[in-house]
Amino acid sequence: MATSRSDPALAPSLRKDDAGARPFRRVLVANRGEIAVRLIRACHELGMEAVAVYSDADAAAAHVRLADRAVRLGPAAPTESYLRIDAIVQAALDTGAQAIHPGYGFLAERAAFARAVEDAGLVFVGPPSAAIDALGDKLHARRTAAAVGVAAVPGTLEPAPLDRPDQVAGIVAEAERIGFPLLVKAAAGGGGRGMRRVAAAADLPAALVSGSREAASAFGDGSVYLEREISPARHIEVQLLGDVEGRVVAIGERDCSLQRRHQKLVEEAPAPGLTVEERVHLHEMAVRVASAAGLRNAATAEFLRAPDGTFYFLEVNTRLQVEHGVTELVTGLDIVREQLLLAAGRPLSPDALDAAARAATPFGHAIEVRISAEDPGRDFAPTPGRVTRWWMPSGPGVRVDTALEAGDRVPAEYDNLIAKVMVHAGDRGAAIDRLRRALDEVEVAGIQTTLPFHRFVARDTSFRAADLSTGWVGERWDGPADHRRAVEAAQLAAGLAAMDAAVAAGGVTAAPRPATATSATTSHGAGSADGRWHRSGLEAAQDRWPR
């Protein structure tokens, strides 16, 4: 049932000279959390009404309160709410929405969803279903890249014939040609689902079977293929926009190398260390692939950069990216606004064309960290619960995208991302300094978050030196034994500090402090100069569990 914040019939109409700027009268936002809030704000800035959808877990959420209308989809489980194509399309029809924006995640890259929207006579704010079909299949995207002369990561271009036991020897021979170690990857999805690392030929058959089984469960398609492991590698993606006239432009690139389990944790724009010539080459390759696939609206072409500087095409994401904000900060372009205008059939705007013309020589530097309800000291385990204190940073060059407030509960049913903290400055060094300052201002209580990890990144010398790779987190955070000891020492120091505070308040009798506590907090090179481990440990342990 739909609820309305205001009666559309009574809403003031736009002035005649504003009508050209309003691509639609009403847009349904098929998502939740910070991205739903971001999309609703963009709709309101364009003079459009926004319709929210929500599950029972989100009945009082910020995106519901901000929208002009809200429609309940069902219980908290995504399969009964945010993944219900029929319910979302019907909600758009019932509320008179003309278009649906999927945001990212959930149904954003499901060609079946885009097709259902199109079949209902509505506009899908994103690439058309045919383009999602073509580019969502990684093997098809790899073949498209090869057809236009863009080198993909070495590997196969057809699914592994798992139903042909007589061809096992041929698969193994192909793997040996590609070279070990290699990856078994799902053709129909991402996020590491269905992916298996294979170090030797003897392990390949089992990896193919288990990877295919997981891919079928996650994406409904068990097709897998082989791809060489590029290591160490940097993950660099290019932001693309395309219009109905067939023009496709690149408006910049982002470095997303800091990942864990193939999930991005930190992104920055532009990618550090690239020359103007390398940027031009990278952007041109991305445009060629997207143009060949008939891209319209927004998408991102992803590449791996090998140690020798070679770029290899990886895949295309046919949706708005989580990290789109850092590109907005360095270009001054509102990507969501462009999406809505492009979806309405408008050509690329002068602002978009200007951003594309300046893409190889961007101004300043922007960095984003994804604050999630996870414990980085316990293998990034999810930590849902109620937030009792929530204070986000502000000041020059700081942007925070979030939908959370003190008193809100982070549901266990959805993605753990709760805020994106972004900074922008004149150069990368100044941006890192600003990021460090901004993160030190953050206060969260009631749940554990990834803040200790992000504060560590902002102070790490290799990060400042742009010594980046997709293995950085495993090497710098997960890996070193002295680091693990420092984590444990920091947690101990946090407990002692909490005890000291209780004693100072007069409610607890102090116990003797362990003699090792003070010296332990200075391990891993932190020392007492900046006390990052003591501070991060304190923030990691205080109010750790929800009340």
Catalytic residue ranges: 319
Q: Which fold has domain 365-479?
A: D-amino Acid Aminotransferase; Chain A, domain 1 (3.30.470)
pLDDT single digits (tens) 385-417: 999 999 999 999 999 999 999 999 999 999 999
Residue 216 confidence (pLDDT): 86
Superfamily designation of domain 127-148+231-363: ATP-grasp fold, B domain (3.30.470.20)
Query: Which of the four pLDDT bands, split at 50, 70 and 90, describes residue 532?
Result: very low
pLDDT value at position 168?
Answer: 81
Q: Which amino acid is at 319?
A: R
In angstroms, rounded to a whole number, what is the distance separating the alpha carbons of residues 36 and 41? Answer: 9
Q: What is the pLDDT of residues 225-276, one digit of tens each?
A: 999 999 999 999 999 999 999 999 999 999 999 999 889 999 999 999 999 9
CA dist., res. 86 & res. 93, Å (int): 11
**Residue 295 predicted with pLDDT over 50:** yes
Q: Within 10 Å of residue 220's Cβ, how many Cβ atoms?
A: 10
Give me the CATH topology for the region 2-125. Rossmann fold (3.40.50)
Give CA–CA dist 53/162, Å, rounded.
41
The chain-wide mean pLDDT, for the chain, equals 87
In this structure, of 3-12, 218-227, 297-306, 381-390, the range with the lowest mean pLDDT score is 3-12
User: How far apart are alpha carbons 141 and 241 in whole angstroms?
Assistant: 17
Lowest mean pLDDT among 12-26, 119-133, 396-410, 531-545: 531-545
β-pair partners for 313: 152, 303
**Bridge partner list, 410:** 385
Helices (H) and strands (E) in the chain, counts: 20, 23
> 545 exposed, middle or buried (CB, 10 Å; 0-12, 13-18, 19+)?
exposed
**How many whole angstroms separate alpha carbon 133 and alpha carbon 118?**
14
Position 530 pLDDT exceeds 60: no
> Under DSSP, is residue 311 helix (H, G, I), strand (E, B) or coil?
strand
Q: Which CATH architecture has domain 154-228?
A: 2-Layer Sandwich (3.30)
pLDDT (average), residues 471-481: 84
The Cα–Cα gap between 287 and 356 comes to 11
